[in-house]
Structure 1
């Protein structure tokens, strides 16, 4: 009786009023404020600039969709489709190569090997830009070490092409795939393999009917993540191929700097808005896949 009275009186203050707890969502206010400032303000500015049309004769600004229309025509559309094609190709190859590599590391049972591979993957997944472009130019460029020693130039090899850029992108996409898919591979239960073996299934049948269906959401989610990473890459392509391969990030840079036409800054904002829309669609696919895979592998 005395304990219950003390428990009932504990939440009350000295004035007899019950103490009110702060709502849980207040803890997220700093994060929400940072997100609104860091992402919301640039997004609104981008949208406003993309819809702003400047009259070259009078200099009067008005709102319209001319910039968005221009961003989906001619060379701009070619660059946008080129980025999608490059990103999809590089992401697909990285997923095909990264999955067996991650499985080999997981099934090895060596903790040292696992830590070494994951640490190296974390470093290589973030190694890009001008240093990566320089490394490949020095190795596989027109006068690169391997190009001269293996006679690749005589065989028609060119680093400054679509497939050369795909090869460079694989350098950081494959490690990213290893980092993405390794937790999903860890979630595969050994009991599933044993049950499949006890029922007469071969290793190939186990992967076809058990492992891959369970891993499919994670695989597709990793593929989407690789696509987004390749789609947003700029510095590596700019330093290596320039305008030889049409990419939307390079078109944005040219429009801002006025390399092609002066006064195309708003078209660059429209191209950036196109990229945001595509990235939003990518995330809309990725998040449900991530939630679905977590239910199986939790």
Structure 2
């Protein structure tokens, strides 16, 4: 005995008014077994109902602080760099390019080159020393050691100015404890020189590099090392062909940060070496205070504009590489 097949209901006819039978209309959402209400998109959290235009209001205080703290001084620097000093006889407030021309000549150009050389050298040494220290701390089995090193790095990275100069003078100065103990003066050591200033800068640049590169080192995945090991790659080959190419933008970013910190440092150099080592920051201070010539305030603004241009050029190299590194470490 055979059973008659169950008739299949015919599809609903298309409704011109866009009703339930209209083609392309989403079917009704099934009812939730707990509440009996549809469990479709309408049951989701009302994230779409929140006003989209109100989120940026939280950034208003930050934007206002940035405008007052950075925007207005930047405008004042650019305006003053192209303006004649108020005591000039050729007309106060008139436009001129003499300030920028003078800022890249003579002693000012020497100070700018010396600052660039000091900043690049200390940033490079700080990068080379900071990366192995950060890697050793991350791979250490002692959690207490890791926390202690990172905490100390945070403190030392912000330790500068007069206290740092006094500490190095008492330690490595002409009458310092370490200098007398090892007779460093007999070997040509002088803290009040370009080399001594570079060693002093490394005291806070190396910890700063440790803090900067640690998140990037943590972003290296274990699978990459295991894949390199399965392909019979040595540790040196892994770092050369896998890790360092990925970390290169982060390394460059750390180098830029160290370069900027050394380039803008003033109090430590002013208290320790004075005018022995020509630096652009010292030239700006002398121009503002009238230590050498009176009425050179606009020239100081031109020197500041030179520093801003250097920082912008360095950041222009860093930002594209940083976006490339973010795709790997994210």
TM-score using structure 1 length: 0.91
- Whether 1:66 and 2:94 are equivalent positions in the alignment is no
- Whether 1:38 and 2:66 are equivalent positions in the alignment is no
C-alpha displacement of 1:59:
5.9
Residue in 2 that maps onto 1:94: 126
Q: Which has the larger radius of gyration?
A: 2
Q: Which runs of 5+ in 1 are unaligned?
A: 12-17
Residue in 1 that maps onto 2:248: 216
Pairs within 5 Å for 1:1-298: 22-54=53-85, 56-57=88-89, 60-298=92-330
Query: Which stretch shifts more, 191-200 or 83-92?
Result: 191-200
2:146 and 2:76 map into 1 onto residues whose CA distance is: 45
User: Could you say what secondary structure the match of 2:53 adopts?
Assistant: coil
C-alpha displacement of 1:266:
0.8
C-alpha displacement of 1:209:
1.1
1:73 and 1:86 map into 2 onto residues whose CA distance is: 19
2:183 and 2:104 map into 1 onto residues whose CA distance is: 41
Aligned pair count? 288
1:121 and 1:101 map into 2 onto residues whose CA distance is: 11
More helix per residue: 1
2:50 and 2:310 map into 1 onto residues whose CA distance is: 48
Change in Cα spacing, 1:21 to 1:144, as seen in structure 2 (3 Å) is closer
TM-score using structure 2 length: 0.82
* Root-mean-square deviation (Å): 2.0
Q: Kindly indicate whether structure 1 or structure 2 has the higher relative contact order, using CA contacts under 8 Å at least 6 residues apart.
A: 1
C-alpha displacement of 1:73:
0.7
2:151 and 2:232 map into 1 onto residues whose CA distance is: 38
C-alpha displacement of 1:114:
1.1
Q: For each residue in 1:141-200, what CA deviation from the matched residue of structure 2 results, as whole angstroms up to 9, or x when unmatched? A: 111111111111111111111111110000000000000111111111111111111211
Q: Which runs of 5+ in 2 are unaligned?
A: 1-27, 29-35
8 Å contact 2:84–2:91 — kept in the other structure? Answer: no
